[in-house]
Structure 1
């Protein structure tokens, strides 16, 4: 977790060095609402107005004494597009920007490439895991145990990229592409797949610790072994609101409220 701690330290330093700015926070207070951007079709975090990030947004708004104005949006081709559209500029079609965006990777390279925003308050560490059917894959000794097996992945995902490229494509014939990891995991439960490569949170939310589906931490060359932290982003000058949001997140982590929000959706929070 050393790399993640370094990223968090960098985010905190950036927040501390930013100059004071109160105007936007005053406008938000006067409006009475907090506009929070969350990804659409992103279960278990945000999908059809429900999920971990939706509940988290509601809790943050409540702590700030505001009502929640949720802004679900579709993911762009790059994270920089999402930060531009939902944090500091707004989309050319007219929606956004929000006051804060959730589920933003706390990443030094992302921060450097997007100086218009501050990324802070990491609240979860995500990672990719492999889950298998104990019935059809009774023993597991690394990824080679999946040779000839049916492996589900989400389209246009890091899991799909990794699985299709592993072993110079040796697993490609067995890889099945689904619109979402959740759908792939449901197929695994139904016996239509032998394994699924997905994020830890996606696996938790669908399988909820079912011992018939063991979960494995596998080292893939293209994936960070320690996972990646996700937090939130605001415009660089919105330091007053950032400090209040950071304080609210700290309180939720300390009180157990953050853990409870994740647990409600069957997911174990992994704090940085």
Structure 2
């Protein structure tokens, strides 16, 4: 762990830390409306890691989590910030989670569903963004519900508006925002899953993965994550 040069060679073989950002998760990263630059808790963590390693960093920006995960073996990024999932873990070595987000359903007010459990009981058609953590989870866990993937969230939202879906699934903050945009919708409680967000290192870099694991644990314990969450006004999450 003290051989920083060796760790840098493994975790960032190009000499720059290439950081994959998932703009599909507005809780953790967003574009500044004035400058267009990425900002958020994942950006802060990435900058802190690069500073710890003593190297520059480059952001590799994606619009969907699935695209980040699918490019793990393409040698275009070194670390990422994604939800932990067993399928992704085949290609990505994850740290412990630094923040936990809730996955919730959004349905029309007139829906017969009262709780999240009713989604399966009623066999509802639920739209998800393909490759997202909640889509991967629901594809395994659904027992009656029809999980219908879409390339982008707006496509799923349009399908719901057209009556082609019975509901949407997503992170609570995105579902709250959609409910505010489209009156006549409500969230179902309780959440259908806890989404554990972690830093990930490309698989096959054990020293780098160990360093990232220790780094995230330190950032959790020393208050860095809590301070960043407060600074970026992140609400409705759990800090492990």
Between structure 1 and structure 2, the one with the greater Rg is 1
Residue 211 of structure 1 deviates from its aligned partner by 7.8
The aligned length equals 218
Helix, strand or coil at the partner of 1:63:
helix
Residue 70 of structure 1 deviates from its aligned partner by 0.6
Helix, strand or coil at the partner of 1:140:
coil
Residue 129 of structure 1 deviates from its aligned partner by 2.1
**Is 1:22 aligned to residue 13 of structure 2?**
no
* Paired residues of 1:131 and 1:197 also in contact (CA < 8 A): yes
The alignment yields a C-alpha RMSD, in angstroms, of 4.7
For residues 31-67 of structure 1, give each alpha carbon's deviation from its aligned partner in whole angstroms, at most 9, with x where no partner exists. Answer: 995421234x63436899679x852343124435465
Helix, strand or coil at the partner of 1:132:
strand
TM-score by length of 1: 0.56
* Paired residues of 2:107 and 2:168 also in contact (CA < 8 A): yes
Residue 232 of structure 1 deviates from its aligned partner by 0.8
Which residues of structure 2 form unaligned runs of 5+?
A: none
* Paired residues of 2:106 and 2:179 also in contact (CA < 8 A): no
* Paired residues of 1:125 and 1:228 also in contact (CA < 8 A): yes
Q: Distance in 2 between matches of 1:177 and 1:37?
A: 23
Which residues of structure 1 form unaligned runs of 5+?
A: 1-18, 86-90, 220-224
Equivalent residue runs for 1:56-205 within 5 Å: 56-64=41-49, 65=51, 68-72=57-61, 82-83=71-72, 85=73, 91=74, 95-98=75-78, 100-105=79-84, 118-134=93-109, 136-137=110-111, 140=114, 142-143=118-119, 146=122, 151-155=126-130, 157-158=135-136, 161=139, 166-167=143-144, 178-185=150-157, 188=160, 192=163, 194-205=166-177
Quick one: which of 175, 178, 187 aligns to 1:215? 187
Residue 103 of structure 1 deviates from its aligned partner by 1.1
Residue 237 of structure 1 deviates from its aligned partner by 0.9
Q: Distance in 2 between matches of 1:77 and 1:58?
A: 18
Residue 71 of structure 1 deviates from its aligned partner by 1.7
More strand as a share of residues: 2
* Paired residues of 1:102 and 1:231 also in contact (CA < 8 A): yes
- Seen in structure 2, the aligned counterparts of structure 1 residues 137 and 78 have a Cα distance that, compared at 3 Å, is same
* Paired residues of 2:19 and 2:57 also in contact (CA < 8 A): yes
Quick one: which of 20, 23, 27 aligns to 1:37? 20
More helix as a share of residues: 1
Quick one: which of 230, 236, 239 aligns to 1:268? 236
Q: Distance in 2 between matches of 1:228 and 1:128?
A: 7
Residue 152 of structure 1 deviates from its aligned partner by 3.2
Q: Distance in 2 between matches of 1:260 and 1:38?
A: 19
